[in-house]
Structure 1
């Protein structure tokens, strides 16, 4: 049985056709003004892959095509059971569409002159200061999930441009949302990213400015997934950083750049770090300059209480580690590690002021030896996963709104006066009575070399410990803060564990 949309003429041949029968295509209405394709994808991807998104901006409506009928049915059943579908905190209506797929013709009719969301992005570069080729774009874009199928670089209208084809729409949406308007290098190569109207990219085998990663290459280039067998056998693994460029005359990574190590990217040792602050002596390597980081430096405030953290160590990252680290600057309400991209996470703070403090103090801090990038998310809250889904069982989303570990819950808390960026020095309080200096030094030496330690003269329940690196200090904080010390063979004290925060630069310590 088909139903008409309220306020739409029944004779309009272009009106959305709804159905009571299940369909892979879902119709959304009452969307918040300016809701993005990425927000729709994030709402639906709990239940399965999203293969297409079609927005009708003037009507605040959209179609979303799921990869399978069971995925669409699961979404509808979950929200019909009394769980509202929320985007930016606003309930949205979802119905089955009478259509079974979203076609390119429908996209062009709904968004004339504006390419809809798809799996191909068009990148236009400005302020070119260094060459940008297919290999470099692969290294950058492959960090955002999915599989890159093809890349074509070309010159048009006096500007360097590129087309990048992904296996599906999800990574293309993520790349456009996260990297649009950002610079590859500190001093230039700004990317303007739009969706392309093309349905696929054609690559000529003899063109050095294009790559088809679905077939093996005789010289240069690399496939979409290293080490996986392709049509003609397994591909070679990626060479180590510091070796020659994969493309003759290409930018390369240059000698002396350290490899990323396990868990810092999908192609260890080859993918460049994202974000400024790579350190001295590394040369003019690829950077990604987030607009939000620049805004924070210019005194602008975050316009959301949700932050996006990426370049995380996916082998070691956990929700509780992010909760404790971000909790040094603000009260964390929820943490969500992306199910299909575990080096990225959303962190929801109490309000925008707490988010701004985290953005200012924690951007690019080394968490588990991975330099963490932070950006303001367009999301206004982190959704909880539906029950009985893989995400709910894996514990990748945690709600900390009622946690007793919030440092700033009390109005006028003095903790707000001592917020500082991560450093090698940690301030300890609530040290169990009778715990000796040697025992504390041994405890923290499990995380790195302890350079110095001292008790406060007036209060033996407080002290300062200094480790050899900021990364080791962060690791100790996120592991030991408010944890019972009994499992470490130490007196449990009152059972609340050590309270650990980053010490200010003025805190003096004595060498061990």
Structure 2
């Protein structure tokens, strides 16, 4: 059967131009035409997934990775002229899980929201063209895990001014091949990583291109050599290790990665403490810049592209890089009877520096939030989309607006638009701030700091009980200026953070509140 035959289902009707079906109440305004938000009840389950709204330069690797987050992918057909693709999963159960999860939290590639639905086709029947042979080779490489000689790279980051995350490493190394697994650790106070590529050619290309390069601002220098290991044994998918071929691994919170004997010998001991995984502003912006364009290799440089040369200066020459991408968020399903711009500022300020907030006059359950850069906007989407905020489940996507416009004098009588450009409550103004190391999803446990000595546990518990039920509290043993407080659920903790961050405790102390990954 020819490739074009698969565009028509068994019923003979075309499905290519159907609107995507995303089961989220309300409408999503991300600059695209309005889409239906109800799933068709008669939609049949199929192991073939239809993906729409792909970026024009989306690669096979990126589309396959969408599917690998849910299970094994057996086939792919790219329709680049239509910005679409078909993914065939190993089973209908895997496909159904993917459609359901992506309906609640739509995936993105380079900040474009993907529309995911079942295809009318029960399987993909593709030809043996050179392009399809390439696709099959990529599929096989991305899903093989046995490894081999020179498949694993050992990466040391020298002069590390800012923390480096798994996501940043993945973004950089995927430009040279397929990253299957990554383990990060520290040894002799140096951040290191083991990265298993798809094959020896890919790892060699990455080593030759990246060894000796700076990640950003003339620091975080990559030193790369081949590891003695042929494959990595990743037991946990968390901020320290990741197996990109499996999504069923536990997070292993608060656990130390147990390693095979050969890995222990490389570390020089039976175990190694693992580096926490903060998401620094500038470093993560580099990752976003790398994701925004197809890069071509160039001798003497990491990656090169005329359209993003300025953004990648931090990688090739250590220059400061500007922001890239859209930094304005469209936030809907707000509780219009309660929410103020200041509350939105406080909540979104956990994940970036909020520049402006605008609650829409005609739809007060909707707001535009302008972050300092596109990376912070993506962080806010990742952590706040779907979070319950004063009784409503937030819907957070990128807006079609490039910035939030301030109203003319006299037009905003309700003060629905606020400018926070010069706010002293911005958490990420200083490069290298410890706040970069404390970005966590909303949780029922809050981290409190800047507590004066005269403030008691009883006072703090009583203050927080005004907005929720306090179920746990403890001061830090080595530093009584900090404490952990636990509310009965995440929604109460979110409310407490919004209402009590920057609470004046004395003439010189204002309370600092953030989400914690620790338990009491």
Q: What is the TM-score with the length of structure 2 in the denominator?
A: 0.42
Higher relative contact order (CA 8 A, sep 6+): 2
More helix by percentage: 2
